[in-house]
Amino acid sequence: MSLIDVQDLTKTFKVRQRSAGTGTGAALRRLLRPGWELRQAVSQVSFSINEGEIVGYLGPNGAGKSTTIKCLCGILVPTSGVVRVAGLDPFRQRVALAGRLGAVFGQKTTLWWDVPVVETYQLLREIYEVPRPRYEETLALLTETLGLGEFLHLPVRQLSLGQRVRADLGAAFLHRPRLLLLDEPTIGLDVAVKASLRQFVKQMRDLTGVTVLLTTHDLRDIELLCDRLIIIDHGRLLFEGSIEETIARYAPDSTILVELAAPVSGPLSVPGAREVARDEPDGLKLRIRFRRDELPVTEVTAYLMRRYPVRDFRIQEPQIEDILRELYEQRTSVP
């Protein structure tokens, strides 16, 4: 059953025009008649997410990820399109939805700055009307899985980033939400904290069946956490599918790196390969790129072994990183 349904979501912002020239004259003109322009942050995006799924919502900076998330929380009103979360209209039924939703924005805390973490938790318990036994139980679970014990009684301003994000994650989960929205939760964290966050998210999903939608630029987050990816850019949906599907679609090529025992003169060729290149300077290294579905690896390696003095070879499978880099970089060519 789908928990999130988004259909043709479009969000347009009115922003101050920046291209109206520079200098004092232009500044004065803008003061009198500020130019406005419409910017489409999200454009006709549709997707749905099932209960209990962990979905990565990916795209380069400024692609429209956070805007989508804010539409899902009911903070922003969609310009057009339909958004349903747990059957509710987030903007119109924000208060009703808020009780079923937890969110962490990695770059901004939602905790009160000057009071100990546990005080904020107590306040959240009252706000979300969590019964005390359930609160105690959840807090114990969070303390254990997130290691909150060491800083539960410190004011938020004294916490390190890693502790703060863990505290934020705990705060988002105190009322046992059905949906967890994580906007770059691992940004700026060290390896150990990242690992514990991932473990926490996965554990909570398995334990409570919570649905998770996360945006991230961290590839390990994607590989270790996400059941499915949704990739957007320029506010438009680029792709939706599992990691394997994404790789098959965007990186159909595999590469074999070959090390030769002796230099080979003359032109190189491998039948069916898309690219054969010789790595300078000594010419002992070859790079052969071919389509996995057209040409079996065994065929390429067998041919190489027959024709060339191969000393060693290594097969390079495409990584999700390469695909994302390629996808993200394409935007630079678009004006």
Partner 1 sequence: MSAAVGARRPTTARAAWRSALHHLALLRAFSRQGLQVRLAYRSEFWMHLLNTVVKMAAIATVWRVLYHQSPDAFPIGRRQMVTYAILAALSSELLTWWEGPHFYLGMRIRLGTLVGDLLRPISLPYQLFSIRLGESLALLVTITAPALLIGGLAFGLAPPAGGYLAGGAAFAVSLCLSFVVLHCLNFLAGIVVILTTSVEGVATAYHGVMTILSGWLIPLWFYPAWLRAVADALPFRTVFFTPLSVYVGFVHGSGVAWALAEQLGWTAAMVLAVAGAWRGVRRRLVIQGG
In angstroms, what CA-CA distances link 71 with 64, 177, 303?
11, 17, 55
The region that residue 288 occupies, defined by phi over 0 for left and psi between -120 and 50 for alpha, beta otherwise, is: beta
Binding mask 175-194 for partner 1 (x = CB under 8 A): --------x-----------
Shortest CB 286 distance to partner 1, Å: 44
- Compute the least distance from the CB of residue 199 to partner 1, in Å: 24
- CB under 8 A: which stretch of 23-31, 104-112, 141-149, 241-249 binds partner 1? 104-112
Closest approach, Cβ 301 to partner 1, in A, equals 46
74 vs 162, beta carbon nearer partner 1: 74
328 binds partner 1 (CB under 8 A): no
What are 116's strand-pairing partners? Answer: 155
Q: Give the C-alpha separation, 270 to 304, whole Å.
A: 8
Q: Exactly one of 27, 28, 75, 297 binds partner 1 (CB under 8 A); which one?
A: 75
Residue in this structure with the two tokens 């009252």, named with its chain if needed: 126
Out of 43, 66, 145, 254, which residue is the one contacting partner 1 (CB under 8 A)? 66
Question: Residue 36 or 144: which CB sits closer to partner 1?
Answer: 36
The CB density around residue 113, as the number of other CB atoms within 10 Å, is 9
For position 10 contacting partner 1 by CB under 8 A, the verdict is no
Q: Is 158 in the site for partner 1 (CB under 8 A)?
A: no
Residue 266, both tokens? 């003359």
Write out 181-230 in H/E/C secondary structure: EEECCCCCCCHHHHHHHHHHHHHHHHHHCCEEEEECCCHHHHHHHCCEEE
82 binds partner 1 (CB under 8 A): no
Phi, psi of 13 (to 5 degrees): -105, 145
Q: How far apart are CA 19 and CA 232, in angstroms?
A: 26
Q: Smallest distance from the beta carbon of 63 to partner 1, in angstroms?
A: 9
Applying CB under 8 A, which residues contact partner 1?
Answer: 13-15, 62, 65-67, 70, 73-77, 91, 94-96, 98-99, 101, 103, 105, 107-110, 112, 114-116, 119-120, 122-123, 125-129, 155, 183
